[in-house]
Amino acid sequence: MRRVRTAGARLPGWLAGRLGVRGAAPLADEAGHRHATWLELFLDVIFVYALAAVVARLGGEPSPSPRAVLAVIGLFVVIQWAWLGQVYYDTRFDPDDALHRLLVLVALVGAGAMTLGVDEVPESPLLPIGYLIVRGVLLLLYLRARPTSPMARVVTTVYLIGFGSGWLIWLLSLPAPTELRPVLWIVAMVIELATPWVGARWLNRWPVDNRHLPERIGQFTIIVLGSALASLLFAVPDHPPPHMILTAALAFLIPAAVWWVYTTFVTTRLTQSRLRGGQAYSYLHIPLGGSLLLLGWALGQVVRLVDDDVTRLPLELRLLLGASMVVWTACGLALYWLWTRPSAARLAIAAYGVISVCVITGTVHQPKVMLSLLAAAIVGYAVLLSRRLARAGEANQTPEG
């Protein structure tokens, strides 16, 4: 039977008691696999609202400016990164005691402030204040875990230096002029995003839980996909006529195919034994999640334009729709590459997906025709890739000891 790695198992009983770190994982199944706690799932709920606030910045204009799209992408990175920080802590340290729960609840207050501040960035200080609270709690959690073992001291040193530097820059942005704040935020995010890569030499000595991390990231990805579906469903008018029901159904096939491919990939656990520090796996999910969020918004706009009897889709909307699908396809190929070098067949499937999406969104202007062709292409891509993934998963399965 596998045992879950815990910091408390390395501590004398008196020190573990003082720190509140347990000697065994609180939520593991009969095989010893770590699963998400109720507190982690509660954290996800708060971030659902943050994602909705991010995509709402695009509004109802079907031709968003590049600046508006970049702002949404940047805010999504900040939101997902704030969420990922807690996930990485939980995959190595999981005390789940009263103090830990109180600290995470404080982080939830910060996440709520971020949600409220998204709409008025960069004028409102709520976003940076919320981020400072969320990341400040994370730094306190790492300080608390630091004395639990020699390996914990190594891991927490990397995070405290890198994330602490980014936190200070976020703090300096509060009194800065409004036009300077985004620049400071970008600098801080670059430092924080670089930290796990710079410290990979030390972090990889304590690999992440190779089931818990994919499960948590998968849950967040499904949440993002749910936000995308919400954008689509909200675009359907009340008491829709038959042609609008058909249009919504065609649009729904696209995120449904995305869900089918992603869940097939996750359940095959192809990359499970190659996660190590988890940097590549989790970082690839940032553009993947952002592309899904934009995909849902773009599909919602197409449905609205059909309801308005528009006969020609704006170029900006078609470009955004095509780009989101291409990024999703590229990220999927890169995730596959973490397991093994793609075969010619796998590369051909990816090429089919990219080329078909680019041709359809680049040349077809009529909304219903474009949706029909795009849905057919993505469903075909999902069928081909899911079969390939299923066969790879069967070949990859080995009996557990």
Delineate the domains of the chain, giving CATH numbers in brackets. Answer: 7-203 (no CATH), 212-396 (1.20.1410)
Closest CA to 389 of 349, 330, 355, 356: 349
Task: Give the pLDDT confidence of 211-259 residue by residue, as tens digits.
Answer: 888 888 988 898 888 888 888 888 888 888 888 889 999 999 999 999 9
Task: Give the pLDDT confidence of 149-197 residue by residue, as tens digits.
Answer: 899 999 999 999 999 999 999 999 999 999 999 999 999 999 999 999 9
CA–CA gap between residue 253 and residue 74 (Å, rounded): 28
Task: Give the pLDDT confidence of 338-382 residue by residue, as tens digits.
Answer: 888 888 999 999 999 999 999 999 999 999 999 999 999 999 999
Task: Please work out, in degrees rounded to the nearest 5, the angle formed at the alpha carbon of residue 315 by the alpha carbons of 385 and 299.
Answer: 50
pLDDT value, residue 167? 97
Q: Quick one: CA torsion of 368, 369, 375, 377, rounded to 10 degrees?
A: -170
Task: Give the pLDDT confidence of 302-314 residue by residue, as tens digits.
Answer: 999 998 888 899 9
Helix (H, G, I), strand (E, B) or coil at 251: helix
pTM: 0.85
Closest CA to 90 of 157, 164, 205, 7: 7
Q: Quick one: CA torsion of 7, 10, 15, 17, rounded to 10 degrees?
A: 60
Mean pLDDT on 47-51:
83
Amino acid at 66: P
